[in-house]
């Protein structure tokens, strides 16, 4: 069964019905089941739908192709927001070969794929995910002189701690940064004026054709909270980072001050996904509001107005839908008060965006990924 182009969905949107199953197709290839050609992974991870294989047969095949895969795994357990239904199939990949093997299995079985890194910056659907979730847990790294060779699953906290001990300057700004290196690279994570791109030398990733490639820093196309990996949904495997020599004691002081700032200012006592919205580019602020927000403008890495200040000025602290709430402590965070649901997060995000736009003429852009 072929689906018209207008009905194609991207990875993470889920199937349009419980009777449909996603499988990958090459970009610009119009082959369908009817034509007899075999579709595969696309550059943009576009999906076409076809009736699923028999359940028992599918489970037998995936267990054979991917030993250790789990069925109906709660995604809430694997995200910092503690929200999300079950994944039809869930696989933890502890090395790059396992990641490639899982992707190959998904392609053969015509399963949609979602790559889960550290579990932050994502809101999983209450219905879960109907395909295969691949959890990245390749976490080896080594330090050689002023360079670090690290796999995508390395926790950012481990890299910060280890490089500082060696007196290497370049990640001290990331003290307290949640998540893994792969996720940080994908979204060009940043805080306190620093960004992960500043330390990147090269990145190894799987492109849309399933090829493992090495990307130079320029080829990564880093921008504010984005990269080629996010835009084209390439899968980060590992990276080489470069550092400068610094004073370990001074670097540790900077990292600890940032960790303390996060502890005091961020609602870490509640499950959350991290900053919900990107900060607002000061250049895009309507002229009539520039004076109002002049005192809160900061450089991160260019002049921005903290979204938390905008949401607070709109009087939205504490705004609640169901069991999710705009944090009183840091209003660019939405917190899970207990048994929160993704659909309530979506409603709350829309309310915040509508009210901010109505009051200030500012269009907020989500930093979080909804799946």
Beta-carbon count within 10 A of 12 CB:
20
Residue 173 in contact with residue 257, Cβ under 8 Å? no
- Annotation marks residue 367 as catalytic: yes
164-to-183, 238, 251, 260 alpha-carbon distances in Å? 21, 20, 6, 17
* Helix locations, the chain, DSSP H: 55-65, 96-108, 156-165, 181-186, 228-231, 248-265, 290-293, 307-313, 342-360
Catalytic residue among 48, 73, 172, 367: 367
| Of 5, 34, 10, 30, the residue nearest 22 (C-alpha) | 10
> Helix or strand or coil: residue 331?
coil
Classify 204 as helix, strand or coil. Answer: strand
| Spatial distance between the Cα atoms of 156 and 23, rounded to a whole number of angstroms | 33
Catalytic residue, from 225, 227, 233, 327: name it: 225
From the candidates 172, 275, 327, 341, give the one annotated as an active-site residue: 275
Respond yes or no: is residue 137 known to be catalytic. Answer: no
Q: Cα 275 to chain center, whole Å?
A: 12
Residue 275: active-site member: yes
Handedness of CA 6, 11, 12, 14 (dihedral sign): positive
Instruction: Tell me the catalytic residues.
Output: 225, 275, 367
């Amino acid at each position: 069964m072929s689906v018209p182009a207008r009905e194609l969905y991207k990875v993470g949107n889920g199937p349009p019905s419980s009777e449909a199953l996603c499988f990958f197709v090459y970009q610009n290839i119009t082959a369908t089941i009817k034509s007899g050609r075999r579709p595969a992974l696309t550059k943009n991870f576009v999906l076409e739908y076809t009736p699923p294989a028999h359940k028992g047969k599918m489970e037998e095949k995936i267990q054979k192709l991917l030993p250790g895969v789990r069925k109906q795994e709660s995604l809430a357990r694997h995200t910092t927001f503690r929200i999300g239904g079950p994944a039809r199939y869930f696989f933890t990949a502890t090395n790059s070969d396992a990641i490639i093997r899982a992707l190959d299995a998904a392609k053969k079985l015509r399963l949609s794929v979602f790559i889960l890194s550290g579990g932050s910056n994502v809101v999983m659907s209450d219905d879960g995910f109907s395909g295969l979730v691949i959890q990245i847990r390749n976490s080896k790294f080594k330090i050689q002189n002023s360079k670090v060779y690290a796999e995508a699953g390395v926790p950012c906290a481990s890299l910060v701690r280890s490089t500082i001990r060696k007196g290497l300057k370049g990640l001290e700004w990331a003290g307290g940064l949640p998540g893994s290196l792969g996720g940080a690279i994908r979204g060009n994570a940043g805080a306190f004026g620093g960004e992960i791109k500043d330390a990147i030398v090269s990145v190894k990733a799987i492109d849309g054709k399933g090829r493992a490639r090495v990307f130079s820093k320029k080829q990564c196309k880093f921008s504010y909270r984005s990269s080629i990996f996010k835009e084209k949904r390439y899968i980060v495997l590992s990276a080489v980072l470069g550092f400068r020599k610094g004073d370990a004691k001074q670097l540790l002081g900077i990292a600890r001050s940032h960790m303390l700032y996060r502890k005091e200012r961020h609602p870490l006592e509640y499950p959350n996904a991290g900053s919900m919205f990107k900060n607002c580019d000061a250049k895009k602020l309507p002229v009539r509001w520039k004076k109002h927000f002049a005192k809160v403008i900061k450089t991160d890495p260019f002049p921005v107005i903290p979204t938390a200040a905008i949401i607070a000025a709109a009087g939205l602290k504490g705004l609640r839908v169901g069991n999710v709430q705009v944090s009183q402590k840091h209003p660019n965070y939405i917190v899970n008060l207990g048994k929160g649901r993704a659909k309530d997060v979506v409603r709350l995000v829309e309310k915040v965006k509508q009210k901010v736009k109505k009051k200030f003429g500012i269009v907020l852009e989500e930093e979080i990924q909804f799946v």
